[in-house]
Structure 1
């Protein structure tokens, strides 16, 4: 198969290793970070799609933005829904919120959904609440990123960085519809894993979770890379983990945290470690049938290779 250049316009077309293909395979979605100033997501000016066959580009979302390197709202990291013609992407503070929230940062962003044909009808997915000593149940207090629908569209996975309690590194979470979703939003937020405090973990404990992706169609297994303290209590290892999230989980048993307490996951999630000391890197991926996980790690010569392992760990 020969390569084919699709875009020629004088702007960046950043895929960001997301679910960029439309459900019918005709389009790729992307953001335009790096077109002005720098590669900071805050300076992405639009969310777009391109038709693969023709190269025709369509702007899906282009809010007004503050000029300068420290900008808002910050829109990027877009993915298509697996079955519906709509896209989801990160969205920082709107221009009318900058005085209260500040400009874009990894701890100051949420998810927005718009139609796959464009338009100004935007849907707010997750609530960000830093105004209360006890965070609104189902909301968060930081930034969600790299939003990914499960293959059946029922859950959204993401990475999360907390704003109120910053002595914890990045972790992962999921959202789903619920009867108690905060008013004005579509999904209830929960972390999948509460990491150990940065630099204070014991042997075998995870300090950071990232590089995550759904494995199965139903969104009941999420693979991720965990930065875990080695058995010597000094070094760190980056290994492959899987979080088992029951379909009937009561997401309301999670805690959204307080002004000085980090969020807690809902009851019933189990974390499994699939590799030991492999220095896993990149973004892990599940197979189409949900039985295997692909990941990258260096071989004995230090060259990154692609490995495949059973999602159940056997």
Structure 2
């Protein structure tokens, strides 16, 4: 294994799509941790030479982070906080946006309109953790709403959205914090503040992953009959043309002053897992993970406890059915994970080492030994050519980037 960054500062990988398409560069931000948002640059490091380049530098008091890369070209999307933050408007879940940098030009991905009547295709709050779909033609994100946050924080439910290249979208600009965006953006999940106990209703949608190019899986928080939170796996099927993305259902795409923006008419939300009666109900939130479909789109992987309470990898078909326990590790999966580009295995942290889990048998093969500190649980990411895997690990108190060969 090889340390590829060497500096008295932190280097933060996003949970997926952190490599350039040629598998030569790792892209990162410089936040001290995943929970803080004080970094001013988006950078990349060549894994062979150690050369570091600054891709983008924020100005006017703004901060940036959580960068991912387009699967076919050197196009970068990341979170951008507000310029000129003040006591009334500063970085928060509902005060951030996606921006795209390509060939030195940076543009807003999503538009914001917080003045009624709202603009279809614009958001009314903050988008974050932007991930390109496999063909690079759309971007998923999670979302929080400024309009409802101002009305009642309890109404600002996290949701999943998609940006598609059918813009630009330009609000009327009645508020100084509104802005235009290059893409048409809509929410694709449905939430409700008080899910009925035992129902398929959810009050939070998060940690999404693409299933092919026309579906997204995500975790949704249901309520048990006793009223306890049980995270379950959901999937939404998505429109395949511009008309479908722009056709509203019974509720407006742009939302109202009292309701969240609504999905397009054709978007169907379906629950895939039903775990309320298990000994350990629900998908786990620790370690934090993002659900991931294999490149073939035939299996969705997620983390759930087995009957002994140990966190394992599980698989389920996008069509539903019974989940299949993949791993049977003694002490559990310790991190977020990703599929190898071949779809034959998954990479994660097991026993404080970087490991490959066979996608059929669940057999664990260790790629590393003797870590100075345990690998971070936040990100274990394969290069597009499948030859390398990257992660974060503390060195002298600073989070550094590491890679090793996969031997695959």
TM-score normalised by L of structure 1: 0.87
Stretches of structure 2 that go unaligned for 5 or more consecutive residues are 150-154, 172-179, 276-280, 322-408
Cα gap change, 1:160 to 1:178, in 2 (>3 Å) = same
Call closer, same or farther: CA 1:229–1:148 in 2, change over 3 Å: same
2:54 is the alignment partner of 1:59: yes
Counterpart secondary structure, 2:166: coil
**Distance between the aligned counterparts of 1:178 and 1:210, measured in 2?**
24
Alignment equivalent of 1:295, drawn from 299, 302, 305:
302
Q: Does the 8 A contact of 2:14 with 2:68 survive in 1?
A: no
Residue number in structure 2 paired with 1:83: 72
The reply on whether 1:238 has 2:241 as its aligned counterpart is no
Aligned to 2:217: 223
Distance change in 2, residues 1:154/1:6 (3 Å): same
Q: 5+ unaligned residues in a row in structure 1: which ranges?
A: 67-72
**8 Å CA contact 2:21, 2:72 repeated in 1:** yes
Is the counterpart of residue 92 in structure 1 residue 81 in structure 2? yes
Query: Retained in 2: the 8 A contact 1:165–1:259?
Result: yes
Helix, strand or coil: the match of 1:206? coil
CA contact (8 A) 1:159 1:172 kept: yes
Between 17-26 and 248-257, report the one with greater CA deviation: 248-257
Q: CA deviation at 1:191?
A: 0.5
Shift of 1:262: 1.6
Alpha-carbon spacing, 1:152–1:200, altered in 2? closer, same or farther (3 Å): closer
Aligned residue pairs, count:
293
- 2:168–2:182 CA contact under 8 A, matched in 1: no
Q: CA deviation at 1:16?
A: 2.7
Q: SS of the counterpart of 2:37?
A: helix
Task: Find 2:107's aligned residue among 123, 128, 153.
Answer: 123
Alignment of 1:187-266 (within 5 A): 187-197=183-193, 199=194, 201-204=196-199, 205-216=201-212, 218=213, 220-230=214-224, 232=225, 234-248=227-241, 250-254=244-248, 255-266=253-264
Instruction: After TM superposition, give the deviation of residue 13 of structure 1 in Å.
Output: 0.9
Shift of 1:179: 5.4
| 8 Å contact kept, 1:112–1:125 | yes
Where has structure 1 moved over 6 Å in runs of 4 or more? none
Query: What is the CA distance between 1:39 and its match in structure 2?
Result: 5.5
The Cα shift of 1:260 comes to 2.5
Scaled by the length of structure 2, what TM-score is found? Answer: 0.68
Q: Which one of the candidate residues 2, 10, 28 is aligned to 1:4?
A: 2
Q: Deviations over 1:16-74 (max 9, x none)?
A: 3131011111111111111xxx76543112111111112211111111253xxxxxx23
- Secondary structure of the corresponding residue to residue 218 of structure 2: strand
Tell which structure's C-alpha radius of gyration is larger. 2
TM-superposition CA deviations, 1:171-225 (whole Å, max 9, x none): 101110225633752111110112011x454532111111101011x2x110101
1:113 is aligned to 100
Q: Whose RCO is larger (CA < 8 A, sep 6+)?
A: 2
Indicate whether 1:104 and 2:91 are aligned.
yes
Are the structure 2 counterparts of residues 28 and 292 from structure 1 closer, same or farther at C-alpha, using a change threshold of 3 Å?
A: same
**What is the deviation of 1:246?**
2.8
Separation (CA, whole Å) in 2 of partners of 1:286 and 1:182: 34
Name the CA distance, whole Å, in 2 between partners of 1:298 and 1:260: 38
CA positional deviation for 1:233: 5.4
Which residue of structure 2 lines up, in the alignment, with residue 185 of structure 1?
181
Question: Which whole-Å CA distance do the structure 2 matches of 1:292 and 1:238 have between them?
Answer: 19
Among 302, 312, 334, the residue aligned to 1:305: 312
Q: Cα distance, 1:292 vs. partner?
A: 1.1
Q: CA RMSD in A?
A: 2.0
